[in-house]
Amino acid sequence: MRILHIIRPGTGGAPRHLEILVRLLSRRGFEFAVAASPLEDPAFLDRLAAAGACEVHSIPIERPPAASDAAAFGRLLALAASRRWDGVHCHTTKPGLLGRVAARLAGVRRVFYTPHGFYFNYPIPRVQRRFYLALERTLAPLTTRILLIGPQEGRQVASLRLAPASRFAVVPNCVDPDEGQDGRTREEILAAIGLDGLRPVVLWVGRLDPPKDPASVVRACARLSRAGLEIDLVLVGDGSQAGECHRLAASEGIEERVHLPGFREDARALMAAADLLVLASAWEGLPYVLLEAQAAGRPVVATDLPGCRDACLPGETGLLFPHGDDLALAGAIESLLADPTRAREMGERGSAFVRERFGPEAWADRMEAIYRG
């Protein structure tokens, strides 16, 4: 089968999802082409081209509505009409809008859409939320199958009646439990970001942007420092709040204990070297970072969201806290660091949980069945 993917890759789970999909299904005889915007992650297309698993097309797509959308739509329409595709698969909101309409106008029979978290769930004004909700309802009839990354999204689509049951399927994200382990010792991994490993390491990985709320993690760790618990907090990633996190750490007097190494290719190795991973987002679909940390045998502390409850076993592989409650977040971190035996057992259960439910081969079987169906 020949599938065209359309995506605007950022630093979230969508490009990761697509890279895994292309790698796994290319081994099963699928041919892929990817049309991606280079505006946020210029290296994404380079990575795909270097892997040799698909042909690539660079088509700029802005995140907000923009005058350039007409040109992007014209190029997508021409690409969709340029050959006989067995399917077009669109990822995230804007490519899901432009790509689905272009595919249908080009006469493509199978059109798939993975939202990777519906935009109307994000903290946006009510008018915008209603607009994007109406947009998803309007575009659903153009879609052969809406593919949702977690059970929470499936429940939401059903409750909001975004699409009939025949038009959507839940296919949770997958991870390779052994990926990212490069043979270095804990000391070597931590030394690469300037840590000596003498204190517990709390890791956060993601976009340093408001929806991910990294500042709340800094405030929680400042509480722990005032209580006499010294830790090293590592915030891996880039984004608009990097400067704010630096300033907040300085104002709290913990600038020497808060480390921002930027984007790291070895984030999976850092998970294995850390004592635990924290996720403080206001909204998540089914976060890769929780799956990856548990695969590395680490307990997790995450916001009490439906997507996070789907991605871990609360109380067994991780602890959940209410979003915005810095005191509860600090307490969850402290309870795991104070009981290494409990933390180790949670990490072991998390590794088994991810291997059983989110393994790559079963996921590839499901995706192949959907495409061929």
User: In angstroms, rounded to a whole number, what is the distance separating the alpha carbons of residues 158 and 177?
Assistant: 31
Mean pLDDT of the chain: 94
> Tokens 């499936």 correspond to what residue?
154
Amino acid identity of residue 8, one-letter, is R
What pairs with residue 314 in β-bridges? 318
Q: How many helices (H) and strands (E) does the chain have?
A: 15, 13
Rounded mean pLDDT, 205-228: 95
pLDDT at 124: 85
Asked if residue 194 lies in contact with residue 259, where contact means CB atoms within 8 angstroms, the answer is yes
Do 186-357 and 2-174+359-372 have the same topology in CATH? yes
pLDDT band at 268 (very low <50, low <70, confident <90, very high): very high
User: In angstroms, rounded to a whole number, what is the distance separating the alpha carbons of residues 108 and 5?
Assistant: 13
Structure tokens at 176: 């390779």
pLDDT band at 33 (very low <50, low <70, confident <90, very high): very high
pLDDT band at 60 (very low <50, low <70, confident <90, very high): very high
Asked if residue 93 lies in contact with residue 134, where contact means CB atoms within 8 angstroms, the answer is no
Rounded mean pLDDT, 66-93: 97
Lowest mean pLDDT among 37-46, 71-80, 109-118, 200-209: 37-46
Position 290 pLDDT exceeds 70: yes
Q: What angle do the packed helices 288-295 and 340-357 form, to 10 degrees?
A: 110
- Please report the DSSP string for 5-70 in residue order: EEE---SSHHHHHHHHHHHHHHTTT-EEEEEE--SS-THHHHHHHHHTSEEEEE----SS--TTHH
pLDDT at 373: 86
Percent of the chain clearing pLDDT 90 (strictly above): 80
pLDDT at 11: 59
Asked if residue 287 lies in contact with residue 263, where contact means CB atoms within 8 angstroms, the answer is no
Residue of 263 and 329 predicted with greater confidence: 329
3-state secondary structure 254-312: CCCCEEEEECCCCHHHHHHHCCEEEECCCCCCCCHHHHHHHHCCCCEEEECCHHHHHHC
What pairs with residue 54 in β-bridges? 32
| Longest CA span, the chain | 65
Q: How many CB atoms lie within 10 A of CB 247?
A: 14
pLDDT at 135: 95
pLDDT at 121: 84
Q: In this predicted model, what pLDDT tens digit does every residue of 293-349 receive, in sequence order? A: 999 999 999 999 988 999 999 999 999 999 999 999 999 999 999 999 999 999 999
Q: In this predicted model, what pLDDT tens digit does every residue of 87-129 receive, in sequence order? A: 999 999 999 999 999 999 999 999 999 998 888 888 789 999 9
How much helix, strand and coil, in percent to the nearest 5, is found in the chain? 45, 15, 35
Position 283 pLDDT exceeds 90: no
Q: Tell me which CATH code domain 2-174+359-372 carries.
A: 3.40.50.2000
Amino acid identity of residue 4, one-letter, is L
**Of residues 6, 18, 169, 162, the one with CA closest to residue 97:** 6
Quick one: CA dihedral 325, 327, 331, 337, positive or negative?
Answer: positive
pLDDT at 49: 83
pLDDT at 200: 97
The domain locations on the chain are 2-174+359-372, 186-357
3-state secondary structure 297-355: CCCEEEECCHHHHHHCCECCCEEEECCCCHHHHHHHHHHHHCCHHHHHHHHHHHHHHHH
Q: How many residues does the chain have?
A: 373
Domain 186-357 has CATH 3.40.50.2000: yes
Asked if residue 87 lies in contact with residue 108, where contact means CB atoms within 8 angstroms, the answer is yes
Q: In this predicted model, what pLDDT tens digit does every residue of 154-193 receive, in sequence order? A: 888 999 999 888 899 999 989 988 887 788 999 999 999 9
pLDDT at 369: 96
Structure tokens at 83: 């050959």
For residue 205, give the 3-state DSSP assignment: strand
User: In angstroms, rounded to a whole number, what is the distance separating the alpha carbons of residues 217 and 310?
Assistant: 22
